[in-house]
Each structure stands twice: as C-alpha cells, then as structure tokens.
Amino acid sequence: MDLAAAIAFNFHITHTIDNFLIDHSLATKVECSARYQSFNDHAKEYRDKFAEHLVDTIMSRPFLDDDTFILSKAHGDYDVLITGGNDPARMGRFIRSNSLLLNNVAKIALIHDSTPPRRTRLLNYGFDEVIDSKKMHMDEARLRLKSVIIKYRANRNLLSDSFTKRNAVSLVCNPDLLTPREFEIAHTLVDNINSFVSIKKFCSEINPSDTTAFKGSIKVMISNLRKKLNSGYIIKNDYSRGYVLINKILESSNNDKLFP
C-alpha cells in the first residue's frame, strides 16, 4: 500500500460514522435521560450517531421550530435537551422561546465541524455547552456533559431544600415578611418546635463559618420575628436554654415539661 492509499485508508477509518472519535472501550455513556432533536441536514447521521454514544437514555425527534412535544414531561422527566444542527439562530430561538419549560434542564448544542464564532453565538443564546461531533473526542464530550448535569442537579437540590424550608416556615408566619436572617431563625425554631434552641445554634444556622458573628443581634431578630408570627404560635425564652417555639393550642399540656 503506497503512502497516499494509507492516508486515505486511515482517514476513512477515523471518519466513518461508526468509528469517528469514538472508542467503544473507553468510558461508558453518561447516565441521564435526554431528549434529542436534530436538523435534517448533511451532518445529521454523524450527529445522531454521536448522540447515541453520548448518553444512555435518549428520545429522538426531528427538529421543528414550534415543537413542544420534545419538551413535555408527560412521558417522563429528563435531564438534558440536546439540539443537533448547524443553524445557531434557529437553535437559539427555540431554547429562548421555551426558556420557562427548560428552566431546570441542561441545554446542549451538538454541532458538526463548528467554528469559534458559531460556538460563541450558541453560548450567548443560552446553551450551557457546545459539543462538536467532528472535532471533540467522545470522552471529552461525556466529561463536559457530566459537568453541566452535576451543576443542574445541585441547583435542583438547593431549590428543593429551599421549597421545603419555605413550606415549613409558612406554617407559623408569612416567609415574604421575613428578612433572610429572620427566615433562618424561624426555620430553626420550626425544625425544633417545642424544644429549646441555643443562641449558638441560631448563629451557626445563619453563618456556619462564624458561630459568634450574630450573637449580639439574635435577641433583636427574635423580637422582630415575634411580631410576625401567626396567632397560633409564640416564642418563649429561658436564660440558660435559649428560645422555644410553641403552638399555643398545645402550650398548656406541654408547659410543665418546658418550664419545670
């Protein structure tokens, strides 16, 4: 085999749809549920094959500018929306017009043989990551996707925790009327209802890195919080033990235990 033939053979092996930039013996697919929409253009087969090797669970549909089925969670939740194409303007319009539906979904642009300006445009339109099915190795693509998913999952956990805390506080007062520090105090009291909470614990909830930072202002914040409590609740204090949130309906039956 002469040099020209060898070069042509190696190029064919590297760039055929079944082999390009994919080493099947390396890292496994990203464990997530993805929706994939693809333009019907000259690079569709390359992108589609790349997407199949990228994630372990994928639902595919052709790209349509007004398609909302691909975004629906009626058929199950999903972590990632992958949009495959070479038209940044149309791709960007789609995710911008559906931004509310994609609020907690990672948005990945899959493009074949991209240029820096195109990648920049896609990121500016709101995509979290741009993956090139021709120039990027599959391992790198998987690592980039994993990094984006981790950020979104962490954010979901924070939102879930915040929602849970807000619901708990709303039982005793209106969270919208509280300052951030009063909110933390209220949540700590609710979380320990009918049990005394020390000033040190309040301080650690407000600022874990410095448990003495707000020691002198806890009394003032609790005084303000008392004025914002629903009528069924009161906050009492004991010099040696701290503060306790009490449901007034249950106060008489628990009073002897709390204040022996």
CATH number of the domain that 205 lies in? 1.10.10.10
189 and 128 together in one domain:
no
Burial 126-157 (b: 16+ CB within 10 A, else e): ebbbbbbbeebebeebbebbeebbeebeeeee
Q: What is the DSSP string of 41-107?
A: STTHHHHHHHHHHHEEEEEEEE--TT--GGG--TT---SEEEEE-S-HHHHHHHHHHTTTTTTTSEE
CA–CA dist 135, 15 (Å, integer): 11
Question: Taking a C-beta distance cutoff of 8 angstroms, is the pair 126, 95 a contact?
Answer: yes
80 and 138 together in one domain:
yes
Domain count, the chain: 2
Question: Which residue, 138, 160, 182, sits at the end of a domain?
Answer: 160
Q: Is the sign of the CA dihedral 224, 230, 231, 237 positive or negative?
A: negative
175 and 124 together in one domain:
no
Question: Which residue, 115, 135, 160, sits at the end of a domain?
Answer: 160
In a domain, 178, yes or no: yes
Task: State both tokens at 160.
Answer: 């879930």
In a domain, 52, yes or no: yes
24 and 95 together in one domain:
yes
Question: Which residue, 108, 134, 160, sits at the end of a domain?
Answer: 160
181 and 152 together in one domain:
no
Domain limits for position 206:
170-258
Task: State both tokens at 126.
Answer: 């709101």
In a domain, 232, yes or no: yes
Q: Which one-letter amino acid corresponds to residue 233?
A: Y
136 and 199 together in one domain:
no
* Side-chain-side CA neighbours of residue 33 (13 Å): 10
97 and 209 together in one domain:
no
Which of 147, 141, 146, 132 minimizes the C-alpha distance to 23? Answer: 141
117 and 245 together in one domain:
no
133 and 204 together in one domain:
no
In a domain, 58, yes or no: yes
**Triad 230, 232, 238: Cα angle to 5°:** 95
Q: Which one-letter amino acid corresponds to residue 209?
A: S
191 and 147 together in one domain:
no
What pLDDT tens digit does each residue of the chain (260 aa) get?
554 454 444 444 344 444 445 444 345 888 899 999 999 999 999 999 999 999 998 999 999 999 888 998 877 889 999 999 999 999 999 999 998 889 889 999 999 999 999 999 999 999 999 999 999 999 999 999 999 999 988 887 777 778 888 888 998 999 999 998 899 999 999 988 889 999 888 888 888 776 677 777 888 999 999 999 998 899 998 888 899 999 876 555 555 555 44
190 and 117 together in one domain:
no
- For 11, other C-beta atoms within 10 Å of its C-beta total 10
Burial 26-44 (b: 16+ CB within 10 A, else e): eeebbebebbbbbbeeebb
Q: What is the pTM of this model?
A: 0.61
E-strand stretches of the chain: 30-38, 55-62, 80-84, 106-111, 129-132, 233-238, 242-247
Q: Which one-letter amino acid corresponds to residue 154?
A: A
